[in-house]
Amino acid sequence: MSMDVLLNRSNLHEYQKYSVEFIIENSTAAIFLDCGLGKTIISLTAINDLIFDYFDIHRILVICPLRVVNVWANEIKKWEHLKGLTYSVAIGSEAQRKTALMQKVNIYLINRENVDWLINKSGIPFDYEMVVIDELSSFKAYSAKRFKSLLKVRPKVKRIVGLTGTPSSNGLMDLWAEFRLLDMGKRLGRFITHYRNNFFDPDKRNQQMVFSYKLKVGAEDAIYRLISDITISMKSTDYLKMPECIINEVLVTLSEKEQKAYNSLKKDLVLSLKGDEIDAVNAAALSNKLCQMANGAVYGEDKRVFEIHDKKLDALEDLIESANGKPVLVAYWFNHDLERIKKRFKVREIKTSEDIRDWNNGEIEVALIHPASAGHGLNLQAGGSTLIWFGLTWSLELYQQTNARLWRQGQNETVVIHHIITKGTIDEDIIKALRRKEKVQSDLINAVKARIGG
């Protein structure tokens, strides 16, 4: 190895080197790392060593979210010690994917939506010795095609690594499918029913129908113990010099008339607005409608928008004003939020690489982002340190990933995260749920935390 390579490799943090060794030593590994800790470079370094130092593997499949495929490709180019790795990106049309998969390379990158196609429809033999799942939590649904397909070929795979920052975004029930894929049921059981019966009791139910489950006494510790031998987890606050993060709640109050309209929909599931009836026929639809109303507008029939209040827009105006020209990033959820914000303020959506560059250069005063597009690999920390949640999301994963766009390594200022919450509405339930889920997740992460050198 040249001195350059060694110097370059020495740029890895101690915790990253520890994680690389862990993957090499464990043919099945679950790596739970917070955003910004470098899951990609850790995995690539382990792959590199397993190919060139251990001669253990030759063909590796990396499954990741579509928007992250290029992050992997760029990471390979960035590091001197990875220059021996070859890769192929299997995205695009079926013909393009097939061509990419027929290349003679070490690493094949594919998006998770194409896993079922690759295994069941492509006609290409599944002969990968190692599989890396970037965002293991996207395989938590055991009834999904991608889970069933990968499970089918799992016995052919010699090594498997699951990477995620949010292993249990909706509680520990999520872990079963993730570990079923990793260790084929060795630790948490081969069947979800057994896992459920062993560790959970029915919670909310309607006669025979069980809506939710709660952990049995002592079950949480038992689950952590079972998975701890193949799992390491780390929080960025432990291993990186992270900026301070201040969480702020900005409460807005509806007028009596607005609150009455909100309560009426909640109670009757039907609200007559300007003569149009809006139906919310089930819990999900009702929750959606209530979130919209908390934000200030609601969709009627044929996607027409009925404006109900401007309370959140007024609060947003105050927050932008108090930033005093300092850039702010605003997270919105519904399209009518986007339209109403655009109508009132001079803003720019973060969509393209040009938008990202201009934001990071400090050229955008108010930027808008949708949590679903604020995923991994999107670094916005250079452009500002204030995030405002105009509309909230129930998804802990999207919530944490959006926050991590600004609150991450390389951020030089204290990060302030504002949540605009409409009092007496579903907003209060969502913020509570996010805190609860965060507790379950941080308990899990603390329980299987890597003790570097310990």
pLDDT for position 46: 98
143-177 pLDDT, tens per residue? 999 999 999 999 999 999 999 887 887 789 999 99
299 burial level (CB within 10 Å; 0-12, 13-18, 19+): middle
Q: In whole angstroms, how large is the CA radius of gyration of the chain?
A: 24
- pTM for this predicted structure: 0.71
**Lowest-confidence range among 28-37, 86-95, 184-193?**
28-37
Predicted local confidence at residue 277, as pLDDT: 56
Asked whether 263 and 308 are in contact (CB, 8 A), the reply is: no
- The structural domains of the chain, with segments of one domain joined by +, span 3-240+443-447, 242-252+311-422, 255-308
Q: Are 16 and 240 in contact (CB under 8 A)?
A: no
CB 391 within 8 A of CB 337: yes
Check if the beta carbon of residue 368 is closer than 8 Å to that of residue 347.
yes
Average per-residue pLDDT for the chain: 88
* pLDDT tens sequence across 424-450: 999 999 999 999 888 888 887 787 776
176-216 pLDDT tens trace: 999 999 999 999 999 999 999 999 998 877 777 877 888 99
Mean pLDDT to the nearest integer, 257-263:
88
Kindly report the CATH number that applies to the domain delimited by 242-252+311-422: 3.40.50.300
The two tokens of residue 48 are 């590199």
Q: Is 376's pLDDT higher than 70?
A: no
165-169, 257-261, 386-390, 418-422: which range is least confident on average? 165-169
Task: Please tell me the least confidently modeled range out of 3-12, 128-137, 388-397.
Answer: 3-12
Contact 71, 40 (CB under 8 A): yes
Residue 451 pLDDT > 70, yes or no? no
Whose CA is closest to 181, among 137, 220, 226, 219? 137
Judging by beta carbons within 10 Å of its beta carbon (0-12, 13-18, 19+), is residue 193 exposed, middle or buried?
Answer: exposed
Q: How far is CA 143 from the centre of its chain?
A: 20
Average pLDDT score over residue span 219-242: 86
Q: Residue 283: what pLDDT?
A: 65
Distance between terminal CA atoms of the chain?
29
328 is written with which tokens? 């702010």
Q: What is the DSSP secondary-structure string of 270-300?
A: EEEETTEEEE--SHHHHHHHHHHHHHTEEE-
**List of residues 6+ apart from 426 with CB closer than 8 A:** 287, 290, 291, 294
CATH architecture of 3-240+443-447: 3-Layer(aba) Sandwich (3.40)
Q: In terms of DSSP bridges, do strands 245-252 and 231-234 run parallel, antiparallel, or are they unpaired?
A: unpaired
Q: What is the pLDDT of residue 431?
A: 93
Cα distance between residue 75 and residue 81, in whole Å = 11
- DSSP-derived 3-state class of residue 52: helix
Residue 225 CA to residue 216 CA, distance in Å, equals 15
Within this chain, domains 3-240+443-447 and 242-252+311-422 share the same CATH topology: yes
| CA geometry: angle 441, 137, 280, nearest 5 deg | 85
